[in-house]
Chain A
Amino acid sequence: MADDKGKAVSWLPTAKVTVASILLALVVGALLIVVSDRKVVEAAGYFFDYPWDFFVFAGEAIWDSYRALAVGAAGSWNAVTQTLERAAPLICAGLGVSLAFRAGMFNIGAQGQLIVGAICAGYIGFTYDLPIVVHLLVAATAGIAGAAVWGGIAGLLKAQTGAHEVITTIMLNYVAVSLLLYLLTKDAFQREGSNNPRSEAAADTALFPEIFGFHAGVLVAFAVAFAVWWLLERSTLGFEMRAVGANADAARTAGMSVPKVYTLTMLVAGALAGLAAVQQILGHQDSLTANVAGAIGFDAITVALLGRATPLGTVLAGLLFGALASGGIQMQAGVGTPVSLTQVLQALIVLFVAAPALVRAVLRMRDTGGGATVMAKGWGS
């Protein structure tokens, strides 16, 4: 999936900056591990008497934490399946954000789209009795369609009225959360005999089948990534999306319908977020709760940024974040390093990626044009 211009030079510096960002984030993370480790802090108290203790303990703490993180992420087949299952929805929702970026839009609404998708998929999943396979297909389609509509609303508003998608998608996020909370108080959704805002889980017939220890939705995620690449790089619609994203005026002058592209792009972006919701509901068998989408919709933005809005990049970034998530839990359980460290690492990686000049300065890299992550246009454009 060589992206962009098919020129070897164009992606290499970017990849270097990304790898360097990850390494820098790990270094900063190591400092955090040191200052949050009880034994190390104690050793610092008598540093001038036994300086060696401090360094030994610090080294141990860093080694133990990162080792646990790595083992938890990929140390066994079980760990790998965990990573893949966590990565899949991030990849799908991240693709939605990436696609919108390429068409010049900043889709902050993956979270809301995910929630609506989850409501639709969940409702079909736990309400109806349908044969196996059919049930899965119907529920998944409902989830994808619901989220597509939610995304499409923002696209249509931009196309018809010029409303900025950043505003509309954020507002639609609030609406989606409130809609979910409202529905969870209704009999049609709330679990019978319970006062908690929680639905039934989806029926077994609606679940993704399990293969090699992970649910088949994971494979769907990879297939969809390829499909998005094809859409962007090989199809006429993708050509229009990229043209509109890179220069909407030129696209219009060349006869493309910019409103149509905005609407379609957000429709597809929503559908991709919907697929992420489907992964959660029908893969993990999560029941609908206020927290069903977790922070996937927002992590998707960082995944897309880290992946430079390319499908391949998004897949790799999704896998990395999936690994950090599943590894982080093991790290906390095993050696007691707080799982929040992984969130700090995620944030730092993206921070460094967004400031390539900083990374180059720290690592004394030459400026070969590993571009900054500027993909969506700002206000007023």
Chain B
Amino acid sequence: MELEIRGLTKRFGSFVANDDISLTIEPGEIHCLLGENGAGKSTLMNMLYGLLDPTSGEILLDGEPVHFTTPGDAINAGIGMVHQHFMLVPVFTVAENVMLGREQTRGLGMLDRGKAAELVRELSARYGLDVDPEAMVEDLPVGVQQRVEIIKALANEAQVLILDEPTAVLTPQEIDELMEIMRSLKEQGTSIVFITHKLREVKAIGDRITVIRRGKVVGTTAPGASEPELAEMMVGRAVKLQVEKPEPTVGEPVLDVRNMTVIDARGHTVVDDISFQARAGEVLGIAGVQGNGQTELIKSLMGLVKPDAGQILIDGKDVSKQGPRETLEQGIGYIPEDRSHDGYVGGFTVRENLVLDLYKHDEFSNGLALRLDAIADNARERIEEFDIRTEDMDSLVSSLSGGNQQKVVLAREFSRPLKLLIASQPTRGVDVGSIEFIHKRIIGERDRGTAVVIVSTELDEIYALSDRIAVMYAGRIVGTVTPDTPREEIGLMMAGASTEQEGSHRG
């Protein structure tokens, strides 16, 4: 089936999210849609999937104009979508999830689970998906859950499959497996629209690449284009993909974590007897697939979660019983993993957010009342220094772009002398231009002699910044390696194989 988009435009008020977009998805091709966050990729796909109504333009299937008002229309026309956040019922089996919405019954309205299971087995075998129809979805690893989503789409006889940022939640090995599956789908005639902002993946799998910037198609190229070329198309100017990083001058340990264990509310051990050090003037990268205890580790370092055992020493002093304020006051800068969750107050202005954890300082208040002038002066300086693109300091932070929101957090944390910087996913949902800037500032902080701990699920980022890499899996640090360690090796560690032992690639 050939899918053609002709002059598709979507306006939200005066904002043009998609501006006259035209592209064709040939049968059996993997078409990559490359663009930064907020470039309009999701808007485009939501129109294709019947979730949004185009302002103008049309969608054609095999030359016939079609009009989708609900996802149901799109599904019936043969378009399937795997969302970034899976739409699965965790307490249902794979077969039940697949039959959901298209339940088949026999006699007296009895659900025909057997037939659904049969279908799952058949599809699974045909495309090499390796999914057990009787397994409970919540027990499956993320990568397999994603395959369940793919089966769901295939069960609806999808001929065009849209994958929205499918690799964000996967380990490097799972990414390889996904690509294998994509190739096998393609061989059997399914077209795939692969949405991503990762250049490496685009080059690895794409047949054609369409780059979108600010709602417009910048161009369509072959996968032969180089990464810097693609990045330039995406951002609109030349970008340095490599952070310039002088050799570190490593000093004394600043942070010393000893045998720390954290048990969550459900009684699971999420951080399991972890010990490591972060030294002045170096970047320690903590790699790992999301959900392997990084969040809890960082939260306990900040005093947001009290560890159940072990010690956290900062400059030799145990801080494991402290709350966040004392920790911050000790000269620790913190960039949380999900900025909108606890990095800033969206309903506050830029000016207010820039002193969110500094308002008690003598500079900004006299104990009782805020010093508004000082707070405004501070805002002017930070906006200038960090190039925060905002209408003015009284704009709400929620109205800024992701990159600028992150710069607000960064600017605030960098506005006092630090001895330790803890940054979790510092560039998640941030445009390439801002990534460059944020990485530069982090390395700058390192060179000033600050100990830096970076947690990231993106190996590229870990490699770009780290002087040492610790890999977390299932609440433990399975090994600490140098950045010249090959990707595959770290990938294996992320899947649970420790450095010493040989292990199967899914632990």
Chain A residues in the interface with B (C-beta under 8 A): 5-7, 234-237, 239, 242-243, 246-247, 249-257
Question: Using Cβ atoms and an 8 Å threshold, which residues of chain B touch A5?
Answer: 349, 394, 396
Alpha-carbon distance between A196 and B11 when the two chains are bound, in angstroms: 69
User: Among residues 312 to 359 in chain B, which have CB atoms less than 8 Å away from a CB atom of chain A?
Assistant: 323-325, 327-329, 334, 336, 341-349, 352, 356-357, 359
Chain B count of residues within 8 A CB distance of the other chain: 32
Q: Are B370 and A256 closer than 8 Å at their CB atoms? A: no
Q: Are A254 and B368 closer than 8 Å at their CB atoms? A: no
Alpha-carbon distance between A305 and B349 when the two chains are bound, in angstroms: 23
Q: Are B370 and A235 closer than 8 Å at their CB atoms? A: yes
Alpha-carbon distance between A252 and B356 when the two chains are bound, in angstroms: 10
- Residue B369 interfacial (CB < 8 Å): yes
CB distance from A258 to the nearest CB of B (A): 10
CB distance from A4 to the nearest CB of B (A): 9
Q: Are B394 and A6 closer than 8 Å at their CB atoms? A: yes
Instruction: From the candidates A239, A251, A253, name the one contacting B302 in the complex (CB within 8 A).
Output: A253
Q: Are B323 and A255 closer than 8 Å at their CB atoms? A: yes
- Residue B365 interfacial (CB < 8 Å): yes
Q: Are B304 and A253 closer than 8 Å at their CB atoms? A: yes
Question: Using Cβ atoms and an 8 Å threshold, which residues of chain A touch B329?
Answer: 255
Q: Are B357 and A254 closer than 8 Å at their CB atoms? A: yes
- Residue B60 interfacial (CB < 8 Å): no
Chain B residues in the interface with A (C-beta under 8 A): 302, 304, 323-325, 327-329, 334, 336, 341-349, 352, 356-357, 359-360, 365, 367-370, 372, 394, 396
**25 A-B pairs, CB-CB below 8 angstroms?**
A5-B394, A6-B394, A236-B359, A237-B368, A239-B359, A239-B370, A246-B345, A246-B348, A247-B342, A247-B346, A250-B345, A251-B345, A251-B356, A252-B304, A253-B302, A253-B304, A253-B336, A253-B342, A253-B357, A254-B328, A254-B356, A254-B357, A255-B327, A255-B329, A257-B323
Alpha-carbon distance between A247 and B323 when the two chains are bound, in angstroms: 18
Q: Are B357 and A236 closer than 8 Å at their CB atoms? A: no
Given A234-B370, A250-B343, A254-B324, output 7 extra A-B contacts at Cβ < 8 Å.
A5-B349, A5-B394, A235-B368, A246-B346, A249-B341, A253-B342, A255-B329
Alpha-carbon distance between A253 and B332 when the two chains are bound, in angstroms: 12
Alpha-carbon distance between A237 and B359 when the two chains are bound, in angstroms: 10
Question: Using Cβ atoms and an 8 Å threshold, which residues of chain A touch B343?
Answer: 250, 253
Closest residue of chain A to B375 (Cβ to Cβ) is A239
With contacts A234-B372, A236-B370, A243-B356 known, is A253 near B334, CB below 8 A?
yes
CB distance from B296 to the nearest CB of A (A): 14
Q: Are A239 and B345 closer than 8 Å at their CB atoms? A: no
Alpha-carbon distance between A254 and B396 when the two chains are bound, in angstroms: 18
Q: Are B370 and A255 closer than 8 Å at their CB atoms? A: no
CB distance from A12 to the nearest CB of B (A): 15
Question: Using Cβ atoms and an 8 Å threshold, which residues of chain A touch B304?
Answer: 252-253
Question: Using Cβ atoms and an 8 Å threshold, which residues of chain B touch A6?
Answer: 394
Alpha-carbon distance between A250 and B344 when the two chains are bound, in angstroms: 6
CB distance from B333 to the nearest CB of A (A): 12
Alpha-carbon distance between A234 and B334 when the two chains are bound, in angstroms: 26
Question: Using Cβ atoms and an 8 Å threshold, which residues of chain B touch A252?
Answer: 304, 324, 342
Closest residue of chain B to A6 (Cβ to Cβ) is B394
With contacts A5-B394, A252-B304, A255-B328 known, is A247 near B368, CB below 8 A?
no
Q: Are A249 and B359 closer than 8 Å at their CB atoms? A: no
CB distance from B179 to the nearest CB of A (A): 37
With contacts A6-B394, A243-B356 known, is A256 near B348, CB below 8 A?
no
Instruction: From the candidates B345, B370, B394, name the one contacting A247 in the complex (CB within 8 A).
Output: B345
Alpha-carbon distance between A281 and B368 when the two chains are bound, in angstroms: 32
Q: Are B369 and A234 closer than 8 Å at their CB atoms? A: yes
Alpha-carbon distance between A246 and B359 when the two chains are bound, in angstroms: 16
Alpha-carbon distance between A250 and B335 when the two chains are bound, in angstroms: 11
Question: Using Cβ atoms and an 8 Å threshold, which residues of chain A touch B394?
Answer: 5-7
CB distance from A3 to the nearest CB of B (A): 13
Question: Using Cβ atoms and an 8 Å threshold, which residues of chain A touch B347?
Answer: 246-247
Q: Are B325 and A235 closer than 8 Å at their CB atoms? A: no
Q: Are B346 and A255 closer than 8 Å at their CB atoms? A: no
CB distance from B217 to the nearest CB of A (A): 30
